[in-house]
Amino acid sequence: MSRLPRARRVLISLLILGGASLATVLLGGAATSTHMAAIPQGLDYGMTRPSNHRLFRATYTPSVTPIPIGRLHSWTLHLETLDGQPIEGARIEVDGDMPQHGHGLPTRPVADANLGHGNYRVDGLRYQMGGWWVMDFKVSSGQQTDTVRFNLMLEK
C-alpha cells in the first residue's frame, strides 16, 4: 500500500474505517433489537392488582405524582387478602425492570417500614428514564409467598 499515492491511501483507509464503523453500528443494533420489542398490548396499568396466584391484593400509592424521573421518592404499598383483611408482618422484596431496555432500577429499593393496617413504605425508588417499567413485589406472609407485578408508563 505504500506504493499508492498518498490521496489513494487516505481514501482506502477511510473506506476501511467507515466500513468497520458501519458494521459495528449494524451489529450493535441487531444485538439490542431484542430489548426494543414492542410494548405488549392490553397491559394493566392499574395501581391495584391481585398477586400472581391470587393469594393477596396489592395497591401502591406514590409519594409524588406524577412519578418523577431522576429523583428519589417512596411509595406506600398496601397489602390485603382478597376478602379485604390487611396483611401484617409481611416480608417484601422489591425489584424493578425496564423490559424494553434490558436494565433495572439504578437503586435498590426496600420495603422494610411496616406502617400498620397492611401498609408498608417502599423507600429508594428512582427511575432514570421514562417509558414502560415493571415493578415486582415478592411478598411472604406466614407460610405463603406470592408476587405481584405492576406495569408503569412513565412520562419521557
- Can you give the residue range of the structural domain that contains 60? 48-154
Which runs of E-coded beta strand occur in the chain?
48-50, 57-62, 73-80, 91-98, 103-104, 110-116, 119-125, 131-141, 144-154
Q: What is the overall mean pLDDT for the chain? A: 87
Q: Averaged over 64-81, what is the pLDDT?
A: 96
Residues 69 and 12 in one domain: no
Structure confidence at residue 121 (pLDDT): 98
Same domain (yes/no): 22, 58: no
Claim to verify: residue 142 and residue 95 sit in the same structural domain? yes
pTM for the model stands at 0.75
Say how many domains are in the chain: 2
Residue 2: the pLDDT is: 60
**Length of the chain (residues):** 156
Same domain, 78 and 135: yes
Q: Is residue 39 part of a domain?
A: no
What pLDDT sits at residue 51?
98
Query: Does residue 42 lie in a domain region?
Result: no
8 and 66, same domain (yes or no)? no
